[in-house]
A and B are shown apart, each in its own frame.
Chain A
Amino acid sequence: MENYSDQEWIRLLKQGHEQACDQLWAFLVSNAQTVCWRWGLDEYLGSEAAAEAYHRIMRRGIFQFDYRSQFRSYCRRITVNEICRELQKQKRNLPAKISLDEIHEQVAAPNVNEQAGLERLLPCIRRLAAREWDVCRKYYLEGYSPDEIAAQFGIAQNHVNVLNYRARQKLLKCLQEQGYMSSDDILDGLM
């Protein structure tokens, strides 16, 4: 990447400056190919990820970049994120879904190992807002990544984190009110 300042980069890319766009593209491809080469991934995956990263940076990134890190690292980070997303797409092997009903069934089933922990959790889960539990359930029980959850609910990944945080905070408060002061207390009998 040419030695422009970050401000110059953003200005030139917003203007659609050909040379700057070419240089950004070359930088993204170089990063993606290096990752594929270093970690033994398919080169095609690298090209796809670089193209996705280019779209993302040109259509959103240059408007959202806040100068809190170097633009170079910002672009590199987006490329890596796109590689991981491509990998996820390729390797996606959806886990068996566990619905709330199934959780209730598990609690009712006397021979399930998790019964104790789940029984202790259920009254607290009922205190959560529906969206908070949806996020928490999808992340912890159904094995979706925050990125996938964000796409499913049409919200930002940051908001997925916020909802998960709120859920954990409420669950913690509720469990402590019931006298479970540590994870050992609640995990007792679970493993």
Chain B
Amino acid sequence: MGQDNEPKSQRISRLIHDIYVTSDKEIFYDEALVLMARCADALLSEDEARLQYPQLWHYFDLYPEVKVEYDILMGLARMDAAGEQKTPENLPPRPDLKRRSQRDLLEVIRQTFSGFPQLSLDLATTRGAYRTIEPVEVTLGQGEATLSLNILPSIDEPRTWDLLCTVSSPEKQFEEKLEFAPLWLQQDENGPILKETALSKEGDGNFSALAPGNYVLHLRLGNHEYVVTELTLPEPG
């Protein structure tokens, strides 16, 4: 992979070459992956794919290691279409998602929710208008980000809550990861996913009409997954 074995002078000339082929219309990794899968969907020949997605070929020129993956992917798709794909004789047991690998364990950072302040709950509705209780802030990981949780009585369904989540970070590298970061709720760690959403560019993500009870909130930011446990939504007063 990569250019591990390239002589140094070739690496420098490759850098210079790539500088001069820089185009205004380059695609990046995520888009390249989508186009690769589309080529496999349609079983395009190399000429067809080159014609249909020239930007993908420009990408391969810049990142030849991804072209290797493309070639394997297309070979596999063609073998499948020709009925040549291998059927496993002894299917190994399905991996247990609950048993995380050591590496994943390091990436999962758990926090216990400190609870919404009970006193403020009494102020949830006054004079017919909804008021929020005070937001509760949960520090994520080593303080790289803060999750602010706020609940508001749901307008759509009585006796349920809307949970408003806002993630902020003083670190620029985290800010860049906020948009589209998945956020989901489970009743317990091993239970099914109840609701899911994704953060906006500003780091906001909301869940509506949640029944009172205990929840586990998951947030995935880049390579880290944050889990907020014992998130309790009280019975509306």
Contacts and interface: CB of A to CB of B under 8 A. Distances in A.
B12 A117 contact: yes
A69 B34 contact: yes
Interface residues of A, number: 85
Interface string B29-65: 1100110111011000000000000000000001101
A25 B38 contact: no
Q: Interface residues of B toward A: which range?
A: 35 or more
Interface stretch (B91-99, B151-159, B206-214): B91-99
Given A70-B37, A158-B28, A118 B88 contact: no
A74 to B, nearest CB: 5
20 contacts: A31-B76, A31-B85, A34-B80, A51-B92, A55-B95, A59-B225, A63-B196, A63-B220, A64-B180, A68-B38, A76-B37, A76-B73, A88-B1, A144-B2, A158-B28, A164-B62, A183-B13, A183-B16, A187-B16, A190-B13
A60 B65 contact: no
Interface of A: 14-16, 21-22, 25-26, 29-31, 33-35, 37-39, 47, 50-51, 54-55, 58-60, 63-64, 66, 68-70, 72-74, 76-77, 80-81, 83-84, 87-88, 91, 93-95, 98, 113-114, 117-118, 121, 136, 139-141, 143-148, 151, 153-162, 164-165, 168-169, 171-172, 175, 182-183, 186-187, 190-191
B94 A159 contact: no
Contact of B9 (A30, A39, A114): A114
Contacts of B5: 95, 143
Interface string B10-26: 01111111111010001
A14 B185 CA distance: 12
Contact of A38 (B15, B75, B88): B75
Nearest to B89: A33
Contacts, number: 196
Contact of A191 (B13, B75, B76, B91): B13
A93 B133 CA distance: 56
A90 B28 CA distance: 27
A69 B38 contact: yes
A171 B94 CA distance: 49
A145 B6 CA distance: 13
Contacts of B184: 63
A69 B41 contact: yes
B192 interface: yes
B131 interface: no
B1 A187 contact: no
Contact of A26 (B4, B11, B88): B88
B117 interface: no
B196 A118 contact: no
A98 to B, nearest CB: 7
A60 B220 contact: yes
A136 B15 contact: yes
A63 B19 CA distance: 36
B3 interface: yes
Please name the 6 residue pairs, one residue from A and one from B, whose CB atoms are nearest each other, closest first. A69-B37, A161-B28, A73-B37, A140-B15, A145-B2, A63-B182
Contact of A183 (B20, B33, B75, B180): B20
A47 B146 CA distance: 38
A37 to B, nearest CB: 5
B223 interface: yes
Contact of B69 (A50, A69, A81): A81
Nearest to B66: A146
Contacts of B223: 151, 154
Contact of B1 (A87, A136, A151): A87
B4 A93 contact: yes
Contacts of A148: 2
